[in-house]
Amino acid sequence: MPLVSMRQLLDEAAKGGYGVGAFNVNDMEQIQAIMEAAKQTNSPVIIQASRGARAFAQDNYLYHLMLAAAELYPEIPLAMHLDHGNSFETCKSAIELGFTSVMMDGSLKADGKTPATFEENVAVTKQVVDFAHERGITVEGEIGVLGGVEDGHGAGGSGLEHVTDPDQAVEFAEKTGVDALAIAIGTSHGAYKFSKKPDGSVLKMDILLAIHKRLPKTHLVMHGSSSVPKDLQDVINRYGGKLKETWGVPVEEIQLGIRNGVRKINVDTDNRLAITGAIRKVLWETPEKFDPRDYLKPAREAMQKVVALRMTQFGQAGHAGDYKAVSIAEIAQGYKDGSLSTKPLVADK
Ligand code: 13P
């Protein structure tokens, strides 16, 4: 299958009532792990690259690796998404490269650190939507600000400082016409999200439910959604690592989200933990080894295991064959003639 529109993937997920994991990549082994997990579980999938990943891998390597994935797994619907674009120019360059979906994170200014005003966010997001939709490309926007910092992007803080206001979410969706809406409900990027198993005082699922009630057809996105499982932390620490005790987002909370409009779930940290643990184990147990394949292969397998598990838990497993790819040109036509709606359905309070 060619790279497909993320809008198509999310519309199908809404029809089927499941969520789709969006997994971050920086290199070939991570792409391979995700595609093998997708094949194993027969799942549609979103692969995403941040600005940091683009700088690390270089655009052309990344793009051609993604094309290779689409070529090698023709049965898997696969969208290539830009994670946390910081400006119109960053999104434009991703679209021109061949990404089929972009996130314009206008919740922060272009420095990727300072919270932006609502008006600034609407203006830059709308500019990206106009440019992207004309070309059949999907846009995710963000309202409210996540906690933490990832690849140098983020406002820092706990994640509770700028949680999304449901009224603003409605206004933002109406004014921008985004295809997917990332919301801030207390999660943050990285391993250190919560100091104990989160309850409603720190993980604001009530806000998610309130937003879904007002925007019942809008595809919601949960960022910072790694579960940071204890077993993955333990492997790292057993083999010389020094992670402090920490908690992520419990899978059952994500599943509650999926029953209430969440269609895209961003996961990066869990895979980083799996990879690092597997590499540490090989190097700790067999320090005489020096062939990178000796540790990259177990690392890739460890990541595949995590991704396959999440695909099953999010419900996307088994759905790869449900539909055929619509071409990006047809998607562009759909935005133009209005058959792909960009006007959210808004319910009363
Ligand atoms: P985690 O750090 O929880 O994996 O979140 C990743 C993310 O939201 C990428 O945008």
Note the pTM of the prediction, 2 decimals.
0.96
Residues classed as catalytic: 83
pLDDT digits (tens, 9 = 90+) for 197-245: 999 999 999 999 999 999 999 999 999 999 999 999 999 999 999 999 9
Q: In ligand 1, which atom is closest to the CA atom of 103?
A: 10
Length of the chain: 349
The answer to whether residue 149 scores a pLDDT higher than 90 is no
> Ligand 1 pocket by C-beta < 6 Å: which residues?
24, 83-84, 150, 189-190, 223-226, 266-269
| pLDDT tens-digit map of 300-319 | 999 999 999 999 999 999 99
Mean pLDDT of the chain: 96
| 208 within 8 A of 144, measured Cβ to Cβ | no
Res 151: pLDDT? 66
**Which residue's CA is minimally distant from atom 1 of ligand 1?**
224
* pLDDT tier at 282, thresholds 50, 70, 90: very high
